[in-house]
């Protein structure tokens, strides 16, 4: 264990067994100092960030995750989706504030749950929320040059291909795929009580 903690504090690549062994370390202070030393060796004292402006394309969602405070039911006094003009207005305000990315926020496939969402998409010329998201992201990229970050939720392979052309994933190896594997469902599973599990694919070394 002592050798493993020492390796952690350097830039030595840990094996899977060594990384798992660190979970057994009871000296939290030593472990934190070793982790901080490893961070400093790799990155120094540089902290990077990217300014983002948030665009709530829609707050409708087919799921009812108990922890979520973002999703809302359809309301008569509020359009289900932002128009492209509204999206660009927010993006340009972010651009004026020196933002570099547009972070779209939205629910997962609300058209599968709400007739209001389906009707709104039809008026906008789309069958799915993800298709409209691709149009909105393309408008942001074309009109402002800001990088769209799309947060799409569950995707098919075709959805992923369409969004990669107009999102930050087209310039970054990082990606996020949402899935609902059967093996993760506990006894008594209900959609309203079990949110999607996230499977992350990060660039090497991250």
**pLDDT, tens digit, 9 for 90 and up, residues 123-176:** 999 999 999 999 999 999 999 999 999 988 888 888 888 888 888 754 343 444
Check residue 55 and give its pLDDT.
Answer: 97
Do 171 and 73 belong to one domain?
yes
pLDDT in tens, 82-107: 999 999 999 999 999 999 999 999 99
Do 124 and 191 belong to one domain?
yes
- Tell me if 206 is assigned to some domain: no
Do 160 and 59 belong to one domain?
yes
Residue 94 in tokens:
């972010």
Do 136 and 185 belong to one domain?
yes
Do 20 and 113 belong to one domain?
no
For 140, list phi and psi in degrees, rounded to 5: -60, -45
Total count of domains within the chain: 2
- Whether the full predicted model's pTM is greater than 0.85, yes or no, is no
Check residue 198 and give its pLDDT.
Answer: 41
- Tell me if 162 is assigned to some domain: yes
String of b and e for 20-36 (b: at least 16 CB within 10 Å)?
eebeeeeeeeebeebee
Do 145 and 72 belong to one domain?
yes
pLDDT in tens, 5-35: 766 767 778 788 888 888 888 888 888 888 8
Given pLDDT bands bounded at 50, 70 and 90, which one contains residue 194? very low
Do 38 and 57 belong to one domain?
no
Do 33 and 56 belong to one domain?
no
Do 88 and 126 belong to one domain?
yes
Instruction: Determine the Cα–Cα distance for residues 99 and 148; give it in Å rounded to an integer.
Output: 11
Do 138 and 175 belong to one domain?
yes
Domain span including residue 25: 2-43
Do 78 and 171 belong to one domain?
yes
- Tell me if 190 is assigned to some domain: yes
For 55, list phi and psi in degrees, rounded to 5: -125, 105
Do 37 and 133 belong to one domain?
no
Check residue 120 and give its pLDDT.
Answer: 98
33 or 4: which leads in pLDDT: 33
3-state secondary structure of 161: helix
End-to-end distance of the chain based on CA atoms, in angstroms?
24
Which has the closest alpha carbon to 162: 117, 139, 130?
Answer: 130
Residue appearing with tokens 């359009």: 79
Given pLDDT bands bounded at 50, 70 and 90, which one contains residue 65? confident
Check residue 64 and give its pLDDT.
Answer: 87
Reported in sequence order, the residue ranges of 3-146 that DSSP labels E, i.e. its strands, are 52-56, 101-105
């Amino acid at each position: 264990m002592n050798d493993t903690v020492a390796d952690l504090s350097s830039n030595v690549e840990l094996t899977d067994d060594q990384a798992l062994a660190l979970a057994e370390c009871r000296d939290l202070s030593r472990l934190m100092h070793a982790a901080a030393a490893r961070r400093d060796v790799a990155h120094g004292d540089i902290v990077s960030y990217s300014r983002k402006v948030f665009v709530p394309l829609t707050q409708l969602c087919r799921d009812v995750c108990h922890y979520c405070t973002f999703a809302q039911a359809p309301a008569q006094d509020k359009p289900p989706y932002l128009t492209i003009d509204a999206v660009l207005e927010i993006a340009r305000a972010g651009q004026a504030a020196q933002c570099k990315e547009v972070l779209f926020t939205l629910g997962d496939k609300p058209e599968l749950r709400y007739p209001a969402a389906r009707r709104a998409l039809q008026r906008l010329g789309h069958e799915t929320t993800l298709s409209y998201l691709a149009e909105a992201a393309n408008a942001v990229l074309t009109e402002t040059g800001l990088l769209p970050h799309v947060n799409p939720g569950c995707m098919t392979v075709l959805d992923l291909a369409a969004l990669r052309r107009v999102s930050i994933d087209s310039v970054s190896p990082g990606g996020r795929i949402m899935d609902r594997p059967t093996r993760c469902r506990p006894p008594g599973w209900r959609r309203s009580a079990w949110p999607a599990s996230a499977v992350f694919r990060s660039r090497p070394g991250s």
